[in-house]
A and B are shown apart, each in its own frame.
Chain A
Amino acid sequence: MSSNRPPATSSASSLDEHQTDSDPRDPVKENPAALIPEIALVAAAVIGLLAGSWLPRRRQWVVRVLAAGACVAGLAATAAAMLDTPQRVFDGSYAVDPATNAARVIILAATLLVLCLSVDAVGGHRHETEFYVLVLLASAGAIALVGADDLLTLFAAYLLASVPSYGLVGLLRNPLGTEAALKYYLLGALLGIVMLTGTTVLVGVAGTSSYPGLRDALTGAPPAAVAFGVVAVTAGILFKIGGVPAQFWVPDAVDGASTPAAAFVSTIPKIGGLGAAWRLYTHALPAHSVDWALLAAIVAAASMTLGNLAAFGQTKVKRLLAYSTVSQVGYLLMAVTVAGRSGLAQRALWYYLAAYAVTNLGAFAVVAELPSAVTIEDYRGMARRHPALAAALAVCLLGLVGTPPTAIFVGKLEIFTATINGGYTWLAVLAVANTVASLYYYLRWLAPAFLAAPADREDAALVTAGTWSAAAAYTAAAASVALGIGAGIALPLGAGRLLP
């Protein structure tokens, strides 16, 4: 679809390092050095795929090292970019500004954590290389969602973030995983088409696909068309972040996929999708056209409430975590709701995303460390057998509730403050009620972990997978606390102004 229009060509090429060298246009605008993190991920994916085809199965860890190296290189390049002035590249279709940089840091660090927690599960698996390659590509797509400053780039990023994720979910090739992947794919394809339709309508009425151009052109456009386009594009974003009403894939995908893949698809695309929603709403739409804030508020309210209600009855820990991520999206959307009304919202969003990423991945890392413990009951006796791991689980689950001093506490404080400041007090009150409700099901999981195991049960349920998953769990739990206590340093990092 993207070869029909000149801006789209460049947007596609922004993800492909090979076409950039020979470009004759303004070197500042086409500066490929600005995209080192994205290029590193894609390059590592390509090289890893080629290398993985030749490497024997027991030596596929080389690809893992390559993937981790790409993340570290991307983090270093991002650190350098944060000191640089923000810029638009590739004909203004891609913005490298504080939002993109925040997304890069969070996504790359989260990807590293996923790689760490995946070692025990996928190490030596016949699809090990494919797992790393798909993770790298989907991460690049998630970053590109945030950086996209053009509707067509946004859609290309949507595809890049989605297609590898379908593969990740289906990689296990068991019936549950296949069903989950199919469901995930069908819903993704459907909402992708809806999103493309919305894109078409918006581009049609505005005559341009770039965000700054849209904001000018949509001022006088027919409101119904704009509203339709915004809602349709939002549908695709909601699919990426797993928000109601596009959340149906979440529990099945999380439950059916391998734990590392579940951790990935329930965490990283959310960062990209929420960043994309933020930029779309605040930078592509005229100030008084569509009441997107109300749309976001309704979706936020529905996500947190339905996610919580559905989580109540779950007995399988992965399904419980899946619904918990749906409710977390609700809190995150609160920041998007007041994006244009409170100066506190932007840093609250990015901080909460970072806090959510480490805390959620920590919980998944504990699940990965105990692969045989499927239900809540299986966790009984955990505190006796694995006290440190139980402590990490307690930190992560209480962290997801928002207990101080973990990071999500500061995140919720910031988001609630921003929401009340932005005039959506009812949403903050609802979020408080949901926070209390969520405590119930997190405790349903946590409490058995601290009980003695039933005497008649065999210990097979609590066999550990290996040191890597445990290391990921400890790292995530420690990071969750450190990020909370060090919020004074972390919070301002997400606050820089976006490119107008």
Chain B
Amino acid sequence: MLSLIVFWPAAAALALAVLPSRLPGKWFLRAWVAISAVDLALVIAVWVAYNPHGGFGFTENLRWIPSAGVGYHVGVDGLSLPLVALTSVLFLACAVYSLRETRRPRTYVCLFLGLETVCIGLFVALDLIVFFVFFDLSIVGMYFVIAGWGHGPAARAAALKFFLYTFVGSLALLLGFIGLYLAATPHTFDIVALIRANPLAGRGAYAGAVLAAIGVGLAIKTPTVPFHTWLPPAHTDAPATGSAILAGVLLKMGTYGFVRIAMPLLPDAWRRYALVFIIVGALSAVYGALVALAQPNLKRMIAYTSVNHMGYVILGVGAAGVLAGTDAQARSLAVTGAVTQMVSHGLITGALFLLSGTLWDRTGSYQIDAHSGLAGSAPAFAGLTALAAFASIGIPGFSGFVAEFQIFAGSLASQVAATTVAVLSIVITAGLFLRALQRMLVGPLRLPETVPAGTGFADLTVREAVAVVPLLAVSAVIGVAPRWLLDVIEPAARHLVGLVAR
């Protein structure tokens, strides 16, 4: 079942790739919507059938390279299933959003379908090499998206920077994986077997080196301060859908790696160096918010708020590694909050990037100061942008509040200082979003000079609204009635906290 979910988009992409290219582009775009909708339906079926208290579900374990300790092992649990669902929702939203894409639609669709396979595959991987294969391929796929459909020549430079930078991360990760592999007897890359064996228990420096390699690899992908510098150019020059997937799904690969690999496989080292992650998390939260405050470019601003939001996640998972002064319940709360935050950030930031894409389509600019008074002529755009911004700030009623509240509540007990610093950054985020909203949406209508006079600012089309509204709706549902999500995450979070404490 999981293999079907993973490889269905790629198989469909292969089928589309051999179709004659003279077919109208919109056929391919509609096919993408249909293919992604099928995938989402399959994911929902898995969600309904999954038993949250049963550990890994829907596992498949096949021999791949047995002599190298590599197997095709996949499965879902409460940590990965929400992210799989997020991925399929976001890709469907991007498919709907892209229905009017005119630039080489066939290649575009095939590339995104390939990316969908890669993203879902990463979240269900239970083998380090399978994880790595998808991790690396996500970089290659996103490179082509940014270079091929980004905004002009600057996009190619941004794509190159993205590729090189995150490739460093992925190879650091690979070194760490090799370290884990060699430490285990028999040598294996299987995550479940490595969790059971805990091969680096009591091996101080070696475990520290492996954690450093894996930590740097994941931190670059997340990204956290000081490894975040690839993110703003990549986002600024990527197409809207590319940004939505990059921020919504690809960044989660980093944070997911912490809860899936770093914490359960290296519990000793994680506890010993938890403070490093707590500090990095709090620093990322504040630094991301402060730099976002200074951005004149809407998309760059959203990109830096991603650094801020990912900082909360790192704070949460770091706090889960400190045993002193906390109980298992608080630590489990922090982990639950971190996973919820991953989902929440994916939905909200995905919506924000798609909305900023609609702005680009109309005016060809992301400059905050170049726009004013958009609410008058485009009430739906203004309303949805405001909603998304409030959701991103963490207003109660949206998923962000549920997530951040749990992270802070779980971390506060042991990490008063770091948590306080991180909470303060919410104030900065609120300020910067409100300022952007106030400048762009209210006042007299003003558009960039590049827009011909008299064209005005058209409101969202049905297609754009259909792509964005469901993302915010799901976020609101999680904000109001989160139990259906938390019931899936919490048992896995408790289990993870138990693994870290052993």
Contact = CB atoms under 8 A, between A and B. Distances in A.
Interface string B74-90: 00000000000000000
B27 interface: no
B267 interface: no
A366 B164 CA distance: 25
B68 A413 contact: yes
A245 interface: no
Contacts of B137: 403-405
Nearest to B182: A421
Contact of A443 (B132, B136, B163): B163
B65 A488 contact: yes
Interface in B251-269: none
Contacts, number: 73
Interface stretch (A174-182, A192-200, A318-326, A429-437): A429-437
Contact of A420 (B68, B156, B171, B179): B179
A450 B163 CA distance: 16
A379 to B, nearest CB: 15
A252 B66 CA distance: 42
Contacts of A398: 140
Contacts of B136: 403-404, 409
Given A404-B136, A420-B182, A450-B148, A491 B65 contact: yes
A416 B144 CA distance: 28
A413 B174 contact: yes
A428 interface: yes
Interface string A396-436: 00100001110001100110110011000000110010011
Contact of A488 (B64, B140, B179): B64
B151 to A, nearest CB: 15
Contacts of A435: 171
Interface string B140-153: 10001001100000
A491 B63 CA distance: 13
Contacts of A443: 160, 163
Interface in A333-347: 347
A223 interface: no
B160 A429 contact: no
A167 B294 CA distance: 65
Q: Which of B132, B168, B178 has the most CB of A within 10 A?
A: B178
A450 B144 contact: yes
B68 A416 contact: no
Contacts of B174: 413, 416, 432
A406 to B, nearest CB: 10
A414 B68 contact: yes
A106 to B, nearest CB: 18
Interface string B47-75: 00000000000000001111110100000
B134 to A, nearest CB: 8
Contacts of A414: 68
A466 interface: no
A479 interface: no
Contacts of A66: none
Contacts of B160: 440, 443, 447
B13 interface: no
B133 interface: yes
A263 B160 CA distance: 28
Interface in B183-216: none
Contacts of A496: none
B147 A450 contact: yes
A492 interface: yes
Q: Which of A398, A413, A420, A440 has the most CB of B within 10 A?
A: A413
A284 interface: no
A159 interface: no
A439 interface: yes
B445 to A, nearest CB: 36
A70 interface: no
A347 B69 CA distance: 14
B181 interface: yes
A392 B67 CA distance: 29
A440 B140 CA distance: 13
A487 B69 CA distance: 12
Contacts of A447: 147, 156, 160
Given A403-B137, A413-B129, A436-B168, A487 B178 contact: no
Nearest to B169: A436
B147 A416 contact: no
Contacts of B63: 488
A414 B177 CA distance: 12
A414 B168 CA distance: 19
Q: Which of A405, A439, A450 has the most CB of B within 10 A?
A: A439
Contact of A495 (B67, B147, B164): B67
Interface string A462-488: 000000000000000000000000011
Given A436-B164, A436-B167, A447-B160, A403 B140 contact: yes
A432 B174 CA distance: 9
Contacts of B129: 413
Contacts of A413: 68, 129, 174, 178
A347 B164 CA distance: 30
B175 interface: yes
B301 to A, nearest CB: 29
B29 interface: no
B172 interface: yes
A439 B163 contact: yes
B70 to A, nearest CB: 8
A403 B136 CA distance: 7
Contacts of A440: 160, 164
Contacts of A451: 156
A410 B68 contact: yes
Given A403-B137, A432-B172, A432-B175, A491 B68 contact: yes
Given A403-B136, A404-B132, A410-B68, A416 B156 contact: no
A439 B163 CA distance: 9
A428 B147 CA distance: 31
Given A436-B168, A450-B144, A420 B178 contact: yes
B64 A417 contact: no
Contacts of B178: 413, 416-417, 420, 428
A75 to B, nearest CB: 23
B208 to A, nearest CB: 14
B101 to A, nearest CB: 17
Nearest to B66: A488
Nearest to A492: B67
Contacts of A417: 68, 178, 181-182
A413 B177 CA distance: 10
Contacts of A492: 67
A439 B167 CA distance: 9
9 contacts: A347-B67, A403-B136, A421-B182, A428-B178, A432-B171, A439-B164, A440-B160, A447-B147, A488-B68
Q: Nearest 3 pairs between A and B by C-beta?
A: A404-B133, A488-B65, A432-B171
Interface of B: 63-68, 70, 129, 132-133, 136-137, 140, 144, 147-148, 156, 160, 163-164, 167-168, 171-172, 174-175, 178-179, 181-182
Given A405-B137, A409-B133, A447-B160, 15 more contacts: A398-B140, A410-B68, A416-B174, A416-B175, A417-B68, A420-B175, A428-B175, A432-B174, A435-B171, A436-B167, A439-B164, A447-B147, A450-B147, A450-B148, A488-B64
